[in-house]
Structures are given as structure tokens and as C-alpha cells.
A = this chain, B = another copy of it.
Amino acid sequence: MIKAGIIGDGYTAAELLRILAGHDQVEVAAILSTENVGRRLDEIYPHLTGFCHLKCEESKVENLIGRCQVVFLALPHGLSVNIALTLLEHGIKCVDLGADFRLKDVSLYRKYYELEHGAPEMLERAVYGIPEIYREDIRKTDLVANPGCFPTSAILPLVPLLKEGIIKGEGIVIDSKTGVSGAGRTAKPASHFCEVNEGIKAYGVGTHRHGPEIKQELSLAWGKTVDMIFTPHLVPMNRGILSTSYAQLNPGSNPTTVREVLEDWYGNEYFVRVLPPGTMPHTKWVYGSNFLDLGIYTDPDSGRVILVSALDNLTKGASGQAVQNMNLMLGLDESKSLRWAGVHP
């Protein structure tokens, strides 16, 4: 068995453990924590009882060296850089679920994360971890920047249409809706049950950190800087992201070409399900699974394209995609331990 380590004990760490419990070639050998050192994982997360016998160890990178071939970093931004450098030096592959290696432009990192990046030279080395777009690069790298949950939901629908010149790069609107687990496990007023339940709100309007991440990837696809706006909303549910993306057709494009391009790109992808005409996704259909479901509507008169995408923010939006990336980095079957249906109802 290949040995994996996890740094962090939040929801994405718990989801990694749930997923990897079913993996027959990789097992988790160690998990590091700052607040729960010495506690058993299944005491913190009783749903894992019977699936994980580990105790949290102190959050020192030395605790992983010599014991793991791959490490998942599930840390607040700013903390991954030095740890990843040390692990890489010791030949350990890294999947960073945080934000430290996602933005290629170090000035954007400074602006949005209000931090000086500790190793800007690593930014080019890190591969942005969407396998459906960067599969070959991921296979070859030892450092994956696992994408944000919102970016995954918006990039996958829009990149093919930008790359193939089907839609314009100006005037893109991405309106996203997320469940609460995306904000993490720490108790905050904004995640108090009574402040979320029976209501919906927008947040981070115009300033959310996933905005520049989406913009980077869309611009790479389009070939120049796109003009887009991204607004996240908080929905009273545990899991799930639904992104509604609005764009304008280029001359010469039409409803048929939109659908053809997306079906071509994703027809052979296990984890992207392009829904038939007339069907729009529901986040419930991907609950607990690693799928991204994609619904397409194009209005022939106005030339407006509406793409609706659904994923589970903890799986395809975080830990599931991280395992998908790990499988690729280790030369394993990409869908290993990820081939199960969503839990519905």
C-alpha cells in the first residue's frame, strides 16, 4: 500500500479519510493537527468509526517524512508554502487543498490574500489541479494546487466554450450558490445554524477570493483577460454548489455548436456528466459524489448561453478532486475509490 499523509483536521480532511477508506492501493498513515493532537479521528468524526484508527499527531512536517509518499495539505492559506517545500525536497508528492499555489500572478495573491508569497518561484511549478483540463501535467508533477470549489464549478463549463471561440470573453456573469460546509468547520457567527437556516444571502460581492482564480483560468482559455463578475451566495444546505454562468455567443455559434463542443470535451470524462437538452442539474444528484453535472441552455434569439453546473463542494470541489489528482500523480486509475453514485434523497 502507498502511504498518504494529511495535514489538517477540518471537513476536507474528514472527507479525504472517508474517500480513501475505500482505496485499495493507498492508505492514510498519518494525520497532523494543531488543535486535536492525541485525539482519535473517529472521536472527532464519529461517522468514521470503523474506518480510521489514527490519532492526530503534532503538526510538524517531520512527522510525515519517511512515512508517506504523498501528502494532502488542508490548511488555511499562507501555511502551505514552507511545508510543501520541505516535503518536495524529501521527494514527497503534494496536493495542496489550500490557496497558496493556485494563482500564478503573485501580485494577485498579495492583493486578495494580503500576504507576501513565501516562494513565488514555485507558482509556475505547481499544476492547477483540474484533471479534465490539465491531466497530462498533473501526471508529471509532484505539486498540485487543488482548485477552489467555486472555480471548479465555473471553469469546467466555460473553458471549452472560450477555448473554441464559441462565446465572448466579455460580459460573463457567474452567479454561484454554495452549501455551508465550504466555509469550514470552525464555529463562526456566520455559520451558526440560526443565521443560515431558512434564508439566503449574497456574500463577498465583488471581492471573493475565488474571483481572480476563475478569471485566471478563463483568461488562459480565451487567450486574453476576460471580463467577468462572480457572486457567491450562501444556501441553507450542508453540501453542494450550483453555478449559473451567463455568456454571449460569438457570431457563427448557435445552440448546436455550444452543446457539441461541451459533449465533445466531456463525452469521455467519467466525472463530468453533460445532461440532455431540457434537463438542468440539481446539487442533490451529486451529493457525496465526485461528479459535476452540467445543464445547457442557449437562447437562439438573444444569443445568450446559460450554463448551470452542480457539484459537491467537499468532493469534486475539494477532497474528491484531490484524490483524483493523487491517483494521476501516482500513476493509478484516476477514478479509483471515487466510483460511487450520489446519495439521494
Contact = CB atoms under 8 A, between A and B. Distances in A.
Given A175-B175, A229-B306, A180 B193 contact: yes
Contacts of A198: 197-198, 237-240, 284, 287
A342 B282 contact: no
Interface of A: 11, 14, 18, 21-22, 45-51, 171, 173, 175, 177, 180-181, 185, 187-189, 191-203, 205-206, 227, 229, 231, 233, 235-240, 242, 244, 246, 270, 273, 275, 279-289, 291, 293, 295, 297, 299, 302, 304, 306, 308, 310, 314, 339-345
Contact of A343 (B177, B180, B185, B343): B343
B308 A205 contact: yes
A314 B345 CA distance: 9
Given A205-B280, A288-B288, A233 B238 contact: no
Contacts of A48: 341
A283 B238 CA distance: 14
A231 B244 CA distance: 9
A256 to B, nearest CB: 16
Contacts of A295: 202, 205
B205 A239 contact: no
Contact of A206 (B287, B299, B339): B299
